[in-house]
Amino acid sequence: MEQNLERLSAEIEKHLHAEPFIVYHCMSRIDHGLQIVFWDHRRQPDVHRFLECAQQVGVRMVHLHQRRFDSEQRDMALELLEEADFTREERRDLERRIQAMSRYEGQLCAVEISFDFEGRIYMYAVETEWFAEWESILDELEMAEPEAGEEDDSYGGFYSNN
């Protein structure tokens, strides 16, 4: 995986401005509800080939998302940790891992470039290894969230005969 995404991002932007693309700077387009086809950047790491595909199918607009890691993300994770159901040792380990991420604050952690074609999103997405570790921390926190039993969507035993 690309560890220095700054260089890759600068290369992508340079290439995009040299070609007849319209660059739309956007939020991440990765969403579970969308049909996304991911470029295999491990076997074909050259982003220029991805952009050539876009040109060959007649795409003019590409979406670019660059994500930086910031202290707000760490603070949010620490808040989730306080509410999560962990043993003392697990909590200590997760807090240590979360705090260790402070060395990456301000760094680019993910780059996505995508285009739409025939109802699908085609995407070249890369992230640093440390950001993949960050996502695994967030997954652990999410799985340990307390149950939302108090916010039951049922009618609490009341029903209508209508």
Q: Are 62 and 117 in contact (CB under 8 A)?
A: no
Do 65 and 108 form a contact (C-beta atoms < 8 A)? no
**Which of 51-60, 65-74, 151-160 is predicted with the least confidence, judged by mean pLDDT?**
151-160
What are residue 62's DSSP bridge partners?
Answer: 23
Six-digit token pair at 130? 């440390």
- Are the beta carbons of 68 and 107 closer than 8 angstroms? yes
Burial 99-120, CB ≥16 within 10 A → b, else e: eebeebeebbbbbbbbbeeeee
**Within 13 Å and on the Cβ side, how many CA atoms surround 42?**
3
**Range list of β-strands (E), 92-144:** 108-117, 120-127
Dist CA 113 CA 126 (whole Å): 9
Give me the residue spans of the domains in the chain.
5-146
Pairing of strands 108-117, 120-127: antiparallel
pTM of the shown model: 0.78
The structure tokens listed for 21 are: 């693309």
pLDDT digits (tens, 9 = 90+) for 22-68: 999 999 998 766 789 999 999 999 999 999 999 999 999 999 999 99
Give per-residue pLDDT as tens, 10-20: 999 999 989 89
pLDDT bucket at 145, cuts 50 / 70 / 90: confident
Pairing of strands 108-117, 22-25: unpaired
Residue 4: the pLDDT is 80
pLDDT of residue 41: 92
d(CA 135, CA 69): 12
